[in-house]
Amino acid sequence: MGSEKSFSFGSCEFSRLSPKQILSDTKKLNIIIGFEEALKLNLAIDECLRKINKYKRSTKEGKRAAVNFVIHFDIGRVSVSEEKI
41 in a domain, yes or no? yes
CA distances to 8, 33, 71 from 82, in Å: 8, 21, 14
Predicted TM-score (pTM) of the model is 0.84
CA distances to 17, 60, 85 from 63, in Å: 32, 5, 8
pLDDT tens, position by position, for the chain (85 residues)?
344 456 899 999 999 999 988 899 999 999 999 999 999 999 999 999 999 999 999 999 999 999 999 999 999 999 999 999 9
2 in a domain, yes or no? no
76 in a domain, yes or no? yes
Beta strands 30-32 and 77-84, pairing class:
unpaired
1 in a domain, yes or no? no
3 in a domain, yes or no? no
71 in a domain, yes or no? yes
Number of independent structural domains in the chain: 1
Domain coverage including residue 72? 8-21+28-84
- How crowded is residue 45: how many other Cβ atoms within 10 Å of its Cβ? 15
